[in-house]
Amino acid sequence: MTSDIRLAVSIRSHRKVKKLRRKLGAEGVLSLVYLWIGTATSKPDGILIGWDVEDIALESEWEGEPQEFVDSLINLGFLDDDGNGTYRLHNWNIHQAWVVGAKARSEKAKNAIRARWDKKAEKENSRVRNQLQYSENTTSIQDVIPNKKGSNTPFLSSPLPTDQRQL
């Protein structure tokens, strides 16, 4: 789920926004913004499948007549009607590309994390396999130093030959 939508700073001077404000007042513009926010969280692709006129008004928190609000959004080009009862926000995929791509980005990130953990786990498994193989091919310290069998203290020989040692 996305946590934000993108609004251009020019929105306040856009002619369609100005017309909406003239027609429905500041509440109409605020309801449009609420519709955008609701769409980002509920219908991130911008297609309002299953939403009728009343659902759109409810999501927008529009207190007036629902049909008036939806008709105004359609007439001003904020909302498209496919004629079969499905509405979509006009050019949503262009204006809110970040929202539309959120699910794909999330899946890509999850796959990258999974791959990183799988690689780390495989590296650890390989290290453990190498340790086991090494331990299977080695003998105990007592087998290496036969004159110290039965002792738990390893015998450390001097690096110098016996004739060069000073006592």
Same domain, 46 and 64: yes
Kindly tell me if the per-residue pLDDT of 160 is higher than 90.
no
Same domain, 15 and 95: yes
Statement to judge: residues 43 and 120 lie in one domain = no
Same-domain pairing of 16 and 45: yes
Give the whole-angstrom CA distance, residue 163 versus residue 165.
Answer: 6
**Would you state the pLDDT for residue 115?**
75
Identify whether residues 124 and 109 lie together within a single domain.
Answer: yes
Residue written as token pair 């609701």? 38
Q: Are residues 16 and 60 located together in one domain of the fold?
A: yes
SS3 97: helix
- Reported confidence tier of residue 107, pLDDT bands at 50, 70, 90: confident
Contact 117, 124 (CB under 8 A): no
Percent of the chain whose pLDDT exceeds 70: 74
The string of pLDDT tens digits covering residues 12-36 is 899 999 999 999 999 999 999 999 9
Q: Is residue 67 part of a domain?
A: yes
Most confident of 47-51, 97-101, 134-138, 146-150: 47-51
Domain assignment present for 3: no
Per residue in 55-73, pLDDT tens?
A: 999 999 999 999 999 999 9
23 CB burial (10 A radius; 0-12, 13-18, 19+): middle
Stated pTM of the model: 0.63
CA angle 102, 105, 107 (to 5 degrees): 110
β-strand partners of 88 = 47, 80
- The domain in which residue 78 lies consists of 9-100
Mean pLDDT of 135-145: 56
> Are residues 69 and 13 part of one domain?
yes
Exposure string of 26-49, with b = 16+ CB inside 10 Å and e = fewer, is ebbbebbeebbbbbbeebbebbbe
In the chain the beta strands, taken as DSSP E runs, fall at 79-81, 87-89
Number of structural domains the chain divides into = 2
Same domain, 88 and 112: no
Q: Could you tell me if residue 1 is inside a domain? A: no
- CATH number, residue 21: 1.10.10
Answer whether 22's CB lies under 8 Å from 70's CB.
no
Residue 123 has pLDDT above 90, yes or no: no
Same domain for 80 and 119? no
Q: How confident is the model at residue 162 (pLDDT cuts 50, 70, 90)?
A: low
Please report whether residue 18 resides in a domain.
yes
